[in-house]
């Protein structure tokens, strides 16, 4: 199999402006990935499947990853003009002075939902190519194109990513929840999912469960003592 960089070159030669990025994988498995731009994803996928040499006709795995919003604290040097009283020859005098202070700026880096695809080739019997696609954010812009038209095996797995993460796949023939029931509201695999508090008897509680059990002790629920 060509290396991932060579595949990237081949894609860019076939589809100009494809917007494919190389993502390195630091672990010893050396399974580097290519990040696709959502606009050209279907074209790139079709090229990967139909190209004679690459022939990635087997989509093995579609999965979602949640990257939550991160609060980033940066130390920034800010120069400001400040009025200060300075000792002058005839007593204190108001003067404009430039002051440089170091401030900590906090900002929230928006998270996103990522969908990862693992491709193999049955015709050429070569191995893993990893593709990734990111949504814009986690709250309202969570659409990505569906690759079910290219590989049928994406059908159930994209439904699962929709169910458990909330990524909406446009062009999917049947986007319903897969594992949770149809009326379920939340997306369970997200990192900020809160489980419903519905246990009644917890004899060996630990961590979060212990905290909740102690809170409910007065109601007679929670731990056995």
Tell me the H-state helices in 15-153.
41-50
Q: Which stretch binds other proteins (CB under 8 A): 13-21, 57-65, 90-98, 135-143?
A: 57-65
Asked if 28 interacts with other proteins (CB under 8 A), we say: yes
Choose between 14 and 180: whose C-beta lies nearer to other proteins.
180
Asked if 182 interacts with other proteins (CB under 8 A), we say: yes
Q: Are 64 and 115 in contact (CB under 8 A)?
A: yes
Asked if 3 interacts with other proteins (CB under 8 A), we say: no
Among residues 12, 57, 69, 143, the one that binds other proteins under rule CB under 8 A: 57
Among residues 16, 89, 173, 196, the one that binds other proteins under rule CB under 8 A: 173
Residue 124 CA neighbour count, 13 Å, CB half? 18
| E runs forming strands in the chain | 21-23, 33-35, 58-67, 70-88, 91-109, 112-120, 129-134, 143-145, 168-170
Min dist CB 203 to other proteins, Å, is: 5
Footprint (CB under 8 A) of other proteins, residues 91-150: 116, 118, 122, 125, 127-128, 130, 149
Asked if 63 interacts with other proteins (CB under 8 A), we say: yes
How far is 204 from 26, CA to CA, in rounded Å? 39
């Amino acid at each position: 199999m060509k290396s991932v960089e060579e595949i990237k070159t081949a894609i860019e030669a076939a589809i100009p402006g494809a917007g494919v990025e190389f993502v390195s994988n630091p672990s010893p498995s050396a399974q580097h990935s290519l990040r696709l731009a959502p606009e050209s994803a279907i074209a790139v996928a079709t090229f990967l499947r139909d190209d004679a040499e690459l022939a990635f006709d087997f989509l093995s795995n579609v999965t979602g990853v949640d990257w939550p919003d991160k609060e980033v604290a940066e130390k920034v040097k800010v120069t400001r003009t400040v009025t200060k009283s300075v000792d002058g020859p005839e007593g204190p005098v108001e003067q404009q002075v430039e002051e440089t202070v170091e401030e900590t700026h906090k900002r929230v880096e928006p998270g996103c939902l990522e969908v990862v695809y693992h491709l193999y080739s049955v015709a050429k019997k070569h191995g893993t190519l990893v593709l990734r696609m990111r949504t814009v954010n986690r709250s309202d812009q969570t659409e990505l194109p569906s690759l079910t038209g290219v590989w049928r095996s994406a059908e159930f797995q994209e439904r699962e990513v929709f169910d458990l993460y909330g990524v909406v796949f446009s062009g999917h023939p049947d986007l319903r929840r897969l594992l949770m029931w149809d009326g379920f509201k939340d997306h369970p695999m997200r990192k900020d999912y809160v489980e419903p508090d519905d246990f009644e008897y917890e004899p060996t509680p630990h961590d979060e469960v212990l905290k909740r059990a102690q809170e409910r002790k007065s109601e007679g629920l929670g731990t056995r003592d």
